[in-house]
Structure 1
Amino acid sequence: MLPLHPSAVPPRMIGRATERRLAGDWRGACAAAGVDVDVDLAAIKQDHGAEVAARVEEELRHLVPDLLRWHLPRRPGDGLLHSGLWSPLALFPDAHALVAHSPSRIDLPQRITLRFESLDDAAMTGVRDDTLLLRRDRWDSRCTAELLARCGGVTRLPFFGTDGERLTGAGPEGLVERVVRLDESGRHAEAWTAAGFDLEVLLFDPEWSRDRIDPAAFDAERGANARRAAVDRSLAWLRPVHTALADAARRAAAHVADCRRNAPSDRVPLPSLRYTPSGYLVARQDIRRVMPGPVDVDDRSGLMRIDVRGRCIVLDRLDSERPRARLVASVPYGRVDETRRRAEVAAFGLELAHVPRIPHVLARRPAELTALMNSDVHPDELHPLVHAALFPGRPAPLPVAPPVLRDTIRVRCNRATHEVLMRDGVVVMPHSPVEVERELMIRALGGQVQGCVAAHDGWRDPAVRMPRRMRGLRAELMAIVRHGDGSAVAAALDRGLDPHVRDEQGRTLLHLMPWLSDVDLLPRLLDAGLDIDVRDENGETPLHAAVDHGTPDLVRALLAAGADPRARSNHSYPRMAAWTTRRDLDFLREADLRLWG
């Protein structure tokens, strides 16, 4: 719901992307948000027709790339994007989709790639997540206002006024607030009833795996309280916005219809073999396995189901004044026999396996509402478009200042504690030249420098072990770099940070420019004295890193600054920076040919 690191989607990125998007420059907006658009509209028009190409372009015009980056799943520890994840945004005929890909590895720049591809091809690249197909408010500028209704709001967000101040009991949102309080207090069955649902418990034959279903639901001697507690335990996990379930059911049904409409006409398994992007030979999958969403369900029954832990909730009469929710015991391990099938048909008119499902991402309470209710998030911490959708009467939040790195580090030096300062781009030590010379003599004799001298030398040389707090400062800086927050790095340089820092692999900030995604920093780093052809521990130059992971603009900027395209690494198989098969770097190969002349 919120990025787990302040530099994951920095305010400067949001501002620049928004400026380009509102100007109608969707490609510029994507570039500003670190989204690479690998979509050839001309090729789509040629292969799939003008109508499909126009639809793809329409989706791209309304894409909010910074909002997409904001909502993509992240690792809980460091807040980096989950690697190897692909998320369809919109479906197109013949099982094609506009797909957002996260980085394939965790050590790559935090850039997102958009492709128009078949779902069969996309399935070879990682793990699928269909959330963005169902939650277009997380990336589509036309749908951001839908979040308010998903939270149960009509005129305001439940528990809040339009200005973001706490407010309860007023307007149609009062019912939502009462139901949520019942849910939060553990009275889940009462919450369904208070929301207007007829709640029934349907466990079928008690002899059917009785030992695996709540005994209290069958044992009359334990009384109604035990039965109620068993029902509440079954309902506890879902926590829906009950009044929004009818809309969720309509969206789920529309999703099923969309999958059917865009499914391939020929669904036989594809027998051929193919290579994955990593080079591994694998068998192609049956296209039915990669279609997002169920297509073999009966959506004419008027029923919808929500799977919960060990149970499912079957909903019907959702458009009436008194909808119904039936809590049904699931079959352990899917062992359905004929008796169970007949019982399901008798109760619902069809087997539950053919009832369309409401995905949990639509059925459960939005994370924004829960976080705001519990004061885990302040309204002004939300993305600007989410803020405008939920709190239209509240002024837009002011841009947040980039994270501030420490410029004073306390270091244990011999028996004292000294302060090492970052001033004017250098590490300043509180030692005289004679004391520093003595430490350097110790190193020349085979010893290891410590304290302030280790902090000074280790900042520029990864072979020197720095004191713990100095290593912590470097780790904070590298976390900002990995997330691509160029404005935070620029702010640290303004405060005197030494730009000659190297990470544990010997890479400088020039090597890490593909992660920063901000060519504006390049002249500043060069003016600070960084060598354009500086080598890391593998002998690679910043141009190597830019060719491997950077944008064409970054490669051009390095070449214009004098980077050598013929520089070779010191791997077992040395390679030149100009040796690349990237089609968007043809100009680099041409520059190399001119040098060879």
Structure 2
Amino acid sequence: MSPLPPDEAAAWRRVRRYAVPRWMIERATAHRLTGDWAGACAAARVDVAFDLRRVAARHGAETAAALLDDLRHLAPDLLRWHLPRVMGGWTTLATDLTVVLAHHSPPGGRSTGLCLYVTTPPMVRGPQRLTLRFGAAGTHVTPSRTSDWSTARHLWDARHTAGLRERCGGGPDRAPFCHPDGTPLRPDELPTRDPGPADPAGHTEWVALRTENGEVDAALAAVGIDFDPTPPATSHGWYGTRPEQLLRARARTVNLTRLAPELRLLADRHGHGRFQFANDWGTTFLLELAESGPTDTVRMTVARARDSRGVPHIPEALSRHLPDIDLVRGGVVAPAQLHPLVAGALFPALDITDGPAGPPPGPDTPEPVRVRCRGEWHQVVFRDGGLRMPHSEEERRRERALRAFGGAVAGCFATHEAWTSASGRLPKAMRAQRRDLFLRAQHGDTPGVLALLDAGVDPHVRDSDGRTLLHALNLLDHDELLPRLLAAGVGLEATDYLDRTPLFTAVADRGTTALVEALLAAGARIDVTDSMERSLAHIIRIYRRKDLAFLRERVQEEHPGIGADWWDDWSAYRDDEDDEPEEDEYDEYDEPDKPEEDDDA
């Protein structure tokens, strides 16, 4: 019954399992409940880029007090849970987004547009850390990459999470498509006619079923949306896909019953009721509130994308169906495995003791795997950091000698080689174990990776791209993992499919300065290039990593001729292409302040 296509449902399942692990929820909640908002942010991997005392000094004690009140009720793990995701092959955070959480203009002062906001990472494959900022959000990003969640506190403020059920189209006692305890409705329990707004959950279900059946016109009429599909007049005529087809494809994921109420909240905040709803293939759907009677109606028109510049976007989190409802409805995720604040808001009668052991499950202990070996079925299993096989030491020596002379290994030994070299085929169960390990690394789950290593998983594993766990240290806590991996003998100069070493990956994929320095201290070579003949100096220059200027100078001094000459020309072009952006008056909040000894803010 899930409206999500299989690939999208699988992607959201990965998000809910790996993006916000249980330990993060538990630690962040424990800190938040004691009033330690900074500790909660640290537990949820959120960097704080402002200082409350400087805010008070510049904008007054009242502004600082209002900001502190929001910070004490901020649930950073819940914020991470709801943030947009890259739903292709990766399920990491959508990049370069600014999400405004709350507006804080000084009382009686000039309108400065001060707000509390969060920014997402700049790279899909980079560290999954968020940055919490205070200042003028509009001066830092383009408007199209900004979402205003100031009217959606149920997505991040612990005081308002109970409103999630209403904001996703639910009623007083249940969420759409579910019983109060989270059990999905059977097909025969779904409405066969529109019960109207008096039954919010049933009304949402009826409208959603109409859109899923392709009856978009009936769904729009039921929620009071007047759709005019007439393309705008242009000198060159209309081009691209017909608006009706685009809307039919998009409407399956949109909660049409909530568009008018959400537009009203945004209009009250921004002072106007005109917003962009979607942008597909150069076609933009514009939504505008039209006053008509006791309830709001919405007029939807079509425009070219280039003609709608400057019109703010309605945040996707406010317009689409809540993914958690779709996942529970389709049986993809159990209600008790959702974030506790989400599960408690959506399903008031849910008893977590009846379900699995709480929100996103932790890593499983590696189970034995059957391998076809010399005409027999053998069981292999990871224990004590290695693959345990039913073979004697003499058989192991013979296989090592055979491989040294270029012979082909098979069975259990071929499985071990595929695990450590990314070549050859792994049994399905071992592929799943490897995927689980690297998905946890991809989402920055250091405790999860350590738990798997403690359970006996071989740390010499490589993913399908040839990357080792050392290559993933830019995503994890290197202080805990680097010494352990080096002690286990994981190669410091191992290369992936791009011929990148762990140090090269740390430089190119936004690894911290501390990680780069730790790899250098461990003896990592700096005279390395990747498959495109780029040196470390070239990468540092191209990506403008000023924090690694010391490494660039060292490479240039010790290995002046390394790398292709044409990269020098490209790097010079990049350096001269744009001037450095001018600092604005709120740049003082862009970088965290160094802690002071008696800082009790």
Partner amino acid for 1:130? Answer: S
Contact 1:103 1:112 (8 Å CA) reproduced? yes
1:174 aligns with 2:199: yes
1:103 aligns with 2:121: yes
Whether 1:385 aligns to 2:345 is no
Q: Contact (CA 8 Å) 1:409, 1:420: kept in 2 or not? A: yes
Does the alignment pair 1:426 with 2:386?
A: yes
Q: Does residue 84 in structure 1 map to residue 91 in structure 2?
A: no
How far residue 18 of structure 1 moved from its aligned partner, in angstroms, is 0.8
**Partner SS state of residue 6, structure 1:** helix
Q: Provide the residue aligned with 2:558 in structure 1.
A: none
Query: Is contact 1:486-1:516 (8 Å) kept?
Result: yes
1:489 to 449, 474, 480: 449
Matches within 5 A, 1:296-375: 299=272, 314-317=288-291, 320-321=293-294, 323=295, 325=297, 330=302, 361-375=317-331
Cα displacement string for residues 340-359 of structure 1 (whole angstroms, at most 9, x for unaligned residues) = xxxxxxxxxxxx99999866
Residue 82 of structure 1: how far off its partner (Å):
2.7
Instruction: Identify which of 138, 147, 163 aligns with 2:155.
Output: 138
How many correspondences in the alignment? 493
Q: Which residue of 1 aligns with 2:511?
A: 549
Other-structure match for 1:66: 77
TM-score, length-scaled by structure 2: 0.64
Please give the alpha-carbon distance, in whole angstroms, between the structure 1 residues aligned to 2:334 and 2:506.
43
CA-CA distance at 1:131 after TM superposition: 5.3
Counterpart residue type for residue 549 of structure 1 = G
- Which aligned pairs between 1:55-454 and structure 2 lie closer than 5 A? 55-76=66-87, 77-93=89-105, 94-119=112-137, 122-123=140-141, 128-130=145-147, 132-157=149-174, 158-165=176-183, 166=185, 174=199, 176-178=201-203, 180-182=205-207, 184-185=209-210, 197=224, 240-242=255-257, 244=258, 247-257=261-271, 299=272, 314-317=288-291, 320-321=293-294, 323=295, 325=297, 330=302, 361-396=317-352, 398-399=357-358, 400-404=360-364, 406-411=366-371, 413=373, 418-447=378-407, 449-454=409-414
Match of 1:216 in 2: none
Q: Of 32, 35, 38, which residue of structure 2 is paired with 1:24?
A: 35
Contact 1:315 1:325 in 2 (8 A): yes
Equivalent in 53, 68, 76 of residue 42 of structure 1:
53
| 1:458 Cα offset (Å) | 5.7
What letter matches 1:385 in structure 2? L
Unaligned runs of 5+ in 1: 214-228, 258-298, 336-351, 588-597
Amino acid at match of 1:100: V
Q: CA deviation at 1:54?
A: 3.6
Shift of 1:160: 4.0
In 2, distance between residues paired with 1:401 and 1:65? 19
8 Å CA contact 1:541–1:567 kept in 2: the answer is no
The aligned residue for residue 474 of structure 1 is: 434
Q: Assess, with a 3 A threshold, how the Cα gap between structure 1 residues 436 and 327 changes in structure 2: closer, same or farther.
A: same
Equivalent residue, structure 1, for 2:108: none
Would the alpha carbon gap of residues 540 and 255 (structure 1) be closer, same or farther in structure 2, given more than 3 Å must change? Answer: same
Aligned pair in 2 of structure 1 residues 414, 544: CA closer, same or farther (>3 Å)?
A: same
Deviates most, 126-135 or 97-106: 126-135
CA distance in 2, matches of 1:548, 1:200: 47
Superposition CA RMSD, Å: 5.2
Distance (whole Å) between structure 2 residues aligned to residue 424 and residue 465 of structure 1: 23
1:137 partner amino acid: H
Aligned equivalents of 1:155 and 1:115: distance in 2?
A: 35
Equivalent residues of 2:76, 2:156 under 8 A apart: yes
Opposite residue 434 of structure 1, the aligned amino acid is: E
* Corresponding position of 1:225: none
- The percentage of aligned residue pairs carrying the same residue is 33
Assess if the C-alpha contact under 8 Å between 1:481 and 1:489 holds in 2: yes
Aligned amino acid, residue 127 of structure 2: P
Distance 1:206 1:578 in 2: 52
**Conservation of the 8 A alpha-carbon contact between 1:162 and 1:393:** yes
1:22 Cα offset (Å): 0.9
Q: Please list the CA deviations of residues 113-140 of structure 1 after superposition, one character each: whole Å capped at 9, or x if unmatched.
A: 223354355328x972415345332222
- Post-superposition shift, 1:253? 1.4
CA distance in structure 1 between the aligned counterparts of 2:290 and 2:217, rounded to whole angstroms: 17
Per-residue CA shift, 1:388-434, capped at 9, x if unaligned?
Answer: 11222322463253242644344455666544332232222333333
Structure 1 residues 193 and 175, CA, compared in 2 at 3 Å: closer, same or farther? farther
d(CA) in 1 for partners of 2:369, 2:456: 13
Inter-CA distance 202–62: structure 2 relative to 1 (3 Å threshold):
same
- CA spacing shift, 1:551–1:142, aligned 2, 3 Å: farther
CA–CA separation in structure 2 for the residues paired with 1:36 and 1:200: 44
Q: Deviations over 1:166-217 (max 9, x none)?
A: 477899753551464255235555556666x5x76779999999x979xxxx
Q: 1:424, 1:495 within 8 Å by CA — same for their partners in 2?
A: yes
Higher RCO (CA < 8 A, seq sep 6+) = 2
Mapped partners of 1:333, 1:543: distance in 2: 37
Q: Measured at CA, do residues 579 and 407 of structure 1 come closer, stay the same or move farther in structure 2, by a change above 3 Å?
A: farther
Say which one has the larger Rg: 1
Are 2:25 and 1:7 aligned?
A: no
Q: Give the unaligned 5+ runs of structure 2.
A: 1-11, 106-111, 529-534, 538-546, 553-590, 596-601
What is the CA distance between 1:574 and its match in structure 2?
8.0
Following superposition, the deviation at residue 89 of structure 1 comes to: 2.8
Q: Distance in 2 between matches of 1:506 and 1:88?
A: 39
User: Quick check: 1:512–1:542 contact (8 Å CA) kept in 2?
Assistant: no
Q: Does the residue aligned with 2:19 lie in a helix, a strand or coil? A: coil
* 3-state DSSP of counterpart to 1:80: coil
- Other-structure match for 1:218: none
For 1:570-585, list aligned pairs within 5 A: 570-572=526-528
**1-side partners of 2:229 and 2:476: how far apart?**
57
